[in-house]
Structure 1
Amino acid sequence: MNISHENVDAINAVINVALAPEDYNPQVDKEIKAQAKKAKLPGFRPGQVPVGHIRRTYGKSILFDEINKLVNDRITNYISENKLEVLGQPLPLEDDAQYSWDYKDNFNFKYEIGLAPAFELPFTAETEFAVYDIKADQETLADRIKNLRRSYGKMTNPEVSEEGDVLYATLKQDKEEGLEKTTSIRTDIVEDAKIKKSLVGLKKDDAVKIDVKKAFKTEDLARILGITEEEATALDVTKFELTVKNINRLEEADLNQEFFDKLFAEGEVTEEAQFTEKVKEEVENLFKQNSDQKLRNDMYTFGMDKVDVKFPEEFLKRWLKATNPSISEEELNEGFADFLNNLKWTIIENRVVTENGLEVKYDEVINLAKERIYAQIKMYNINEEPSDEQLNQFAIQLLQDREQGNRLFEEAKALKVFDHLKGLVKLNSSDIEFKEFEKLA
């Protein structure tokens, strides 16, 4: 077998594969014999089908399959051995050659490949980025404490409505045979301040007329009335009569030992000041993720701006069509710019990995899966503490899903690249309150 490649230009190349009978016949003969042992055909005992019969009946099909596997394997090895940074996968080039497929042909195949463009990584020890230590301001801290208290509060049915209550009410369109729906309405999602004020001070069986399009976003209105967003947009009469059936209010939990023990280990927190400090610590730990995400975004923007490259766009379009036969020309063109952006950052990440000998290990992917599973469990039950053994089992099950496994591997790679860049560049740290940080993000 002879395999080589020639560059068409800096980002396009052609791989040439030449096969002589001695290159493929041993593999074909081996597969024909294997098929003869496994074949179950009328008139022959199992495992006793003559090799010649298999060759006459299925030989050309086996020859085609084995040559295809042989060529693909050799191309893969060739790309690896020659350290070719290819984009997509090799695509066969059509030619006019005619083959008899009689085990005597000399085959010549050509495959086009797209090459990653050459570029220099822009990240150096002199590159500067801002990094923020985000502090919880009083408003953010108060909101978090309120949400925690409401999460462990109790539902009551007061006689008179207040802002933030949930009204169980009937909405009836102000016209004959109009829409009518009895449902729960959260007053905190009302957009119009005047309408929101009109829903305060209501009692059971009280009625008030409201303009539902002013009161609610389209998606909220559709959900409340049980109609589609298109139908909500097209409402001809937007005045509805709202009649209160019941008032629901979530009372905040008292700041007592029972409440503290629900959130933390029993006896760990015994007074309000300790509780506030714990919540502050929790919130600021979460803010570290916000800070890291902004730094990652800044690094992404910097890298994308500084790396100016051209891609083999025509090849990539052909490859995308070959791997997604149902994609239309319109869909391809609409998503192609985003595809190139993603590809650009991918090759930047891959260059960081290869130039610095970074490696994503299986244990790192497992640990990342465990972190994600743990966070999901705690989201639904703050007091549940899964064992490490349970997390391991869940993580292994998750990684058995190929799509999820690939996603977690790519995430682990991205984190490794991020950690490497953080250690390489110059980080200028400063304190900032969350409200101010939001203006930057």
Structure 2
Amino acid sequence: MNITQEKINDLNASLTVKISPDDYREKVEKAIKEQAKKMKLPGFRPGMVPPAHVKKMYGKSILVDEINNLLSESVNNYIQQNEIEILGQPLPKESDDQFNWDFNDEFVFNYELGLAPEVNVTFSDKDKLTQYVIKVDPETLAARTKNIRRSYGKMTNPEVVADGDVIFGRFEQLNADGSIFEGGIDVTTSLRTDAVKDASALKALIGLKKDDVVENFDLVKAVDDDKQIVRILKLDEENPIIPESKFKLTVKNINRLEEADLNQEFFDKVFGEGVVKTEEEFTAKITEELEAMMVQDAEKKLASDLYKHGSEKATMDLPDEFLKRWLKVANKDLSDEELDKGYEDFAKNLRWTLVENKIVKDQKLEIKYEDVFEAAKARLDAQFRMYSPQALSEEQLGQYTAQFLKEQENANRIFDEVKSQKVFEYLKSVVTLDKKEIPFNEFEKLDK
């Protein structure tokens, strides 16, 4: 076998692979004999089909499979042994050559390669970014306190709707003239008043009583949230059609979740017996927990800012035309419009991946299997806790994690996440971070 590389420019190259009968004949004969042992054909005892008969019937397909296997293995080995840094995968060139596939052919295959550019991006203390220290603002603290008190409160059915109540009612779709739309939406469902964004719509709901009717209620304008509309009207989640028409709302019931009293019984339920004894301690504990969660928000913001900053520095050229062809081959359903629309983001992410890989190599950042395993385990643990208050045992969680990582796609994704985290931690130790305190409600307004 003979493989030669021709470098077209700094970003593109071609491979020519020449395969002679001596390269594949032995492999093909071996494959035919193995098939003969397994094959069951009328007139032959199991495992006793003559190889010559198998060759006559299935020889060409076996030859094609073996040539493809030989090609894939040889090209990958050549790229690794010659330390060629490629992007995507080698793309076979179309050929006018016609092969006889008669076990005596000389085969010649040509491939396009997209070469990785040289990465010259560096980071130092001259790179300055803001590291936010998020503080709890009174509005966020009050909202969190209210939610916790409601979680341990009790449900009541008041006579009159107030802000924060849940209206259980019938929504009937109307025609433009205000009459009932025959065959239209007719559902009995719940509407949270705190989900109503339109002030005039909320005003129309406050003060309603059981059996009261609101004509021409514009639910879509009132809520202004497609996901909420889908839930309220029980629409098809896969292909929802949001109605533009108004509704007749008939109040069937009013639900109110009363907030729990700030007493010792409540404190013990939330934090455990005797941990919190006063309202001041309760507020301090809530503040502490909120700010602990906000540390994660700040880290995500810093990681995003580092990515943006690094991406602006990573301006190296890419083999764009090759990558576009490769993306089309790798994603059969990708339209030209989708490719044009998404390519810049793809290229930006690819450049950053090249920067990350260079940092890992230059700084000798080690990514161990144990790191990947622990990251996957933490991910699965968090998912299980969302659906069950009972935590899994370490043994069970370990078994689920091992099974999860057997899927190559899962393993690759977690590996990339661990790699990104290690690069992030390294960059935090190199660049200059200017700490800045900011209230959470102001932090929420920042560009993420």
Fold equivalence (TM over 0.5) = yes
1:167 aligned residue: 167
Please give the secondary structure, in 2, of the residue aligned with 1:194: helix
Correspondence 1:53 to 2:59: no
| Pair 190,99 (structure 1): closer, same or farther in 2 beyond 3 Å | closer
1:390 aligned residue: 396
Match for 1:187: what amino acid?
A: T
1:140 aligned residue: 140
Deviation per residue, 1:40-81 (Å, 9 max, x gap): 222222222223333333222222211211111111111112
| Pair 403,257 (structure 1): closer, same or farther in 2 beyond 3 Å | farther
Please give the secondary structure, in 2, of the residue aligned with 1:87: strand
Distance 1:154 1:439 in 2: 34
* Alpha carbons 2:161, 2:205 under 8 Å: kept: yes
Correspondence 1:316 to 2:327: no
Deviation per residue, 1:348-367 (Å, 9 max, x gap): 22222233333432222221
Correspondence 1:284 to 2:287: no
1:153 aligned residue: 153
Structure 1 residue 189: Cα displacement: 1.8
Please give the secondary structure, in 1, of the residue aligned with 2:355: helix
* Alpha carbons 2:314, 2:352 under 8 Å: kept: no
* Alpha carbons 2:229, 2:242 under 8 Å: kept: no
| Pair 377,226 (structure 1): closer, same or farther in 2 beyond 3 Å | closer
Distance 2:385 2:446 in 1: 29
Structure 1 residue 246: Cα displacement: 1.6
Match of 1:407 among 398, 402, 413: 413
* Worse-matched range after superposition: 25-34 or 212-221: 212-221
| Pair 61,411 (structure 1): closer, same or farther in 2 beyond 3 Å | same
Structure 1 residue 315: Cα displacement: 1.6
* Alpha carbons 1:167, 1:247 under 8 Å: kept: yes
Correspondence 1:365 to 2:368: no
* Alpha carbons 2:195, 2:223 under 8 Å: kept: yes
Match for 2:29: what amino acid?
A: D
Deviation per residue, 1:114-166 (Å, 9 max, x gap): 11222312323432222122121222122112112222222111122211111
1:189 aligned residue: 195
Distance 1:372 1:51 in 2: 52
Match of 1:232 among 220, 238, 243: 243
* Worse-matched range after superposition: 215-224 or 106-115: 215-224
Match for 2:329: what amino acid?
A: A
Match for 2:178: what amino acid?
A: K
| Pair 398,275 (structure 1): closer, same or farther in 2 beyond 3 Å | farther
Residue correspondence of structure 1 range 48-87 to structure 2 within 5 A = 48-87=48-87
Unmatched segments (≥5 aa) in structure 1: none
2:210 aligned residue: 204
Distance 2:223 2:436 in 1: 40
TM-score by length of 1: 0.89
Match for 2:432: what amino acid?
A: K
Structure 1 residue 211: Cα displacement: 4.1
Structure 1 residue 398: Cα displacement: 2.9
TM-score by length of 2: 0.88
1:271 aligned residue: 278
Distance 1:370 1:99 in 2: 51
| Pair 384,223 (structure 1): closer, same or farther in 2 beyond 3 Å | closer
2:11 aligned residue: 11
* Alpha carbons 1:221, 1:232 under 8 Å: kept: no
Distance 1:313 1:414 in 2: 24
2:445 aligned residue: 439
Please give the secondary structure, in 2, of the residue aligned with 1:440: coil
Give the percent of matched residue pairs that are identical in Structure 1 and Structure 2: 50
Structure 1 residue 11: Cα displacement: 0.9
1:96 aligned residue: 96
Residue correspondence of structure 1 range 245-256 to structure 2 within 5 A = 245-256=252-263
Please give the secondary structure, in 2, of the residue aligned with 1:44: coil
* Alpha carbons 1:195, 1:210 under 8 Å: kept: no
Match of 2:307 among 300, 305, 308: 300
1:335 aligned residue: 342
Match for 2:348: what amino acid?
A: N
* Alpha carbons 2:7, 2:13 under 8 Å: kept: yes
Deviation per residue, 1:232-272 (Å, 9 max, x gap): 22x2xx4x554432210011123334433443344433433
Structure 1 residue 226: Cα displacement: 5.0
| Pair 340,24 (structure 1): closer, same or farther in 2 beyond 3 Å | same
Please give the secondary structure, in 2, of the residue aligned with 1:432: strand
Please report the RMSD computed on the Cα atoms of aligned residues, expressed in angstroms: 2.6
Distance 2:133 2:304 in 1: 16
Distance 2:89 2:235 in 1: 47
* Alpha carbons 1:218, 1:232 under 8 Å: kept: no
Match for 1:347: what amino acid?
A: L
Give aligned pairs, total: 436
Match for 1:275: what amino acid?
A: F
* Alpha carbons 1:117, 1:310 under 8 Å: kept: yes
Please give the secondary structure, in 2, of the residue aligned with 1:83: coil
